[in-house]
A and B are shown apart, each in its own frame.
Chain A
Amino acid sequence: MKKNNTWTIISKEFARFFGDRQLFFTTVIMPGLLIYVIYSLMGNGIQKMITEGQDETVCLTVQNMPQSMAPVLNAIDSSLVVVEQPFTDDDIAQLEDKEINAVLLRFPEGFDQLAIPEPGQPVPNVEIYYNSTNNASSRVYHTLSTMLGNYNRPFTVNMPQSEEQRFDQASEESIGAMIWSKMLPMLIIMMLFSGVMAIAPSSIAGEKERGTIATLLVTPMRRNELALGKIISLSGIALLSGISSFIGIALSLPKMVSGEGVDYADLGFHYTTADYFALLLVIFASVLIMASAVSILSALAKDVKNAGTMVTPFMLVVMLAGLLPMFQNGAAESLLVYFIPFYNSIEVMVAVFAHEMQWMPVIVTVASNAVYTGIAVWVLTRMFNSEKVMFSR
């Protein structure tokens, strides 16, 4: 019986990939590392912007303090020191120069005695001087403006009567799941595709360009073994690249979303073993079909540069498909959707992250992708047999 050379091709592709430290670093290590560093820096930056100035003491100088407001203003925040005294233009200038951590609040004289004006009549004006580039000053300004904006209203909206009372009936888990289901499928698909893009053009178009594919084609190896070997090895490497990116995202997301030391469960990120299994299956199926499609385009191309040009429009289509969950609520219900290559994987991921996973769409997606990959192997085999495709210049 003739030996199957698929594994020989896979091992050669892996030897090529893992033996090239630079390629390995740029394809597997760098994506995860970069994503972690960038997202963490962004998250820390956002956190810093939000939290900076929260603990700093701010002096609130109030001119013409109304009696009714005094207890309210004094109770705002322990870091707020309320001083009742008039202020001048010099004080405002100091605020402008960031020489003081302060907010200056001026009420009209006799504020408490002012009658509520009729509609259309001028209303009394309360002046709040602050510096928006100073976080502490800006924070106090927003608190004051919100508080004063609600002053003397005939009713309040959604004022909790107790700590337990909630008005939004969505659970924290479902809010988190909604965010994950809109965001993660696109990120996963993009990362997997980037992994395929990093190596597939060089693996097939590169071999054509360098003349090494002809050396393979004069061996007795069957062309379908070559096609399958290429697709499986490319899928494996792309998967590694995707996993690296995924780890980078997983580690940096808490920092991105709400600071360090956050438990994923608090963000609705608690999925079952079945969810993870379905996700893994669909990621495998996606990578296989991506590697197949890019391999075919790469085999059609004359050289690596040409392959890059040919794959770019295809990448845009896949990215667009990845964006679609942003504009929809939950996964598609019709099973027909799960026969559409690429989009089916995205829809399954949406369902998994939204805690709506059902096995039938997963099975249809994996099975249809396996069939499409089989077709792609057949097409690629034909291409390896075609002298026009392999040797045209």
Chain B
Amino acid sequence: MEEILKVEGLSKTFTLSRKQQKIEHTAARRKTAVDNLSFDAYRGEIFGLLGPNGAGKTTTLRMLATLIRPDSGDAWLDGCSVVSDPETVRGKIGFLTSELKLEDFFTPNYLFDFFSRLHGVDEATCAQRKAAMFSRFGIDRFAEVKVANLSTGMKQKLSLVISLVHDPEVIIFDEPTNGLDVLTARTVTDYLQELRAEGKTIILSTHIFSLVERLCDRVGVIIDGRMIACGPLAEVCDGLSIEDRFFEMYKEVKGGEE
């Protein structure tokens, strides 16, 4: 198997504001979100980062997407460092999270062309990909409708399509089905499997066990910013369901605390 992503000793600490200190019930000014995280991902697989809310999954993915810089450690995507060569890395990935929004004012047609230009996609390829993607997700009928007037499900499908305008080798999805209606969620998960079949690598974060079981080839379990277990799904589960195995690990780390 060809390694496409290598993560080594990735760490990130945030300074808490007074408000955040109150919310977190802590007197500490700094919080370690990701602590010396290492893992690999291979071409043509779906790798899932599984963990509870606040475990550090989103922070990890944001570092991989070069939106934030790690305090220490590094990650290499297809040989390019997220720390020293972030622009090249951004050209190789498609990143999708609910935090990323599209401008309401523009139409899907305009946005596809605009992001294609930013990614350096030539016009002919852009037109070809647009036709295929819009047709695949049923956006073609709404191509000239402003984003503001699209349904929530259609906006989410459009966000997915826009994140893939440049046909990236690695797709990073933060909670891919979060907030989606059942139909859109199914469309997305089916599409992730199609992408894997095409040889793309997908890194996703989730806290939904069924999603991991259905989609992921390999999984990394993160609790409190640390990688507790990482490997093929069957190996990590060790004969149990992923849900039971996760709670076993969680109790081990937290000492029975839930």
Contacts and interface: CB of A to CB of B under 8 A. Distances in A.
B118 A8 contact: yes
Contacts of A5: 117-118
B120 interface: yes
Contacts of B69: 387
27 contacts: A8-B117, A16-B103, A16-B105, A19-B105, A210-B103, A211-B99, A211-B101, A212-B101, A212-B102, A212-B103, A214-B67, A214-B99, A215-B100, A215-B162, A216-B118, A217-B67, A218-B65, A218-B90, A218-B95, A218-B100, A218-B163, A219-B119, A220-B87, A220-B91, A220-B120, A221-B87, A387-B67
Nearest to A223: B87
Nearest to B93: A218
Contacts of A391: 67-68
A333 interface: no
B142 interface: no
Contacts of A98: none
A153 interface: no
Given A212-B101, A219-B90, A219-B118, 7 more contacts: A2-B120, A16-B106, A215-B101, A218-B90, A218-B95, A222-B87, A387-B67
A169 to B, nearest CB: 60
Interface of B: 65-69, 87-88, 90-91, 93, 95, 99-106, 110, 114-115, 117-120, 162-163
Contacts of A210: 101, 103-104
Contacts of B117: 5, 8
A55 interface: no
Interface in A341-393: 387, 391
Contacts of B163: 218
Interface residues of A, number: 24
Closest 7 CB pairs of A and B: A211-B101, A220-B91, A219-B118, A387-B68, A220-B90, A215-B100, A218-B95
Interface string A18-54: 0110000000000000000000000000000000000
Contacts, number: 63
A217 B87 CA distance: 10
Contact of A20 (B102, B105, B115, B119): B105
A142 interface: no
A20 B104 CA distance: 12
A13 to B, nearest CB: 11
A217 B99 CA distance: 12
B105 A8 contact: no
A215 B102 contact: yes
A295 B14 CA distance: 26
Nearest to A5: B118
A15 B110 contact: yes
A12 interface: yes
B90 A211 contact: no
Contacts of A207: 103
Nearest to A12: B114
A8 to B, nearest CB: 5
Nearest to A220: B91
Interface string A219-235: 11110000000000000
Contacts of A221: 87, 118
A221 B101 CA distance: 17
Contacts of B100: 211, 214-215, 218
A155 to B, nearest CB: 75
Interface in A249-304: none
B89 to A, nearest CB: 8
Contacts of B90: 218-220
B119 A220 contact: yes
A102 B117 CA distance: 79
Nearest to B92: A220
A5 B117 CA distance: 8
A94 to B, nearest CB: 67
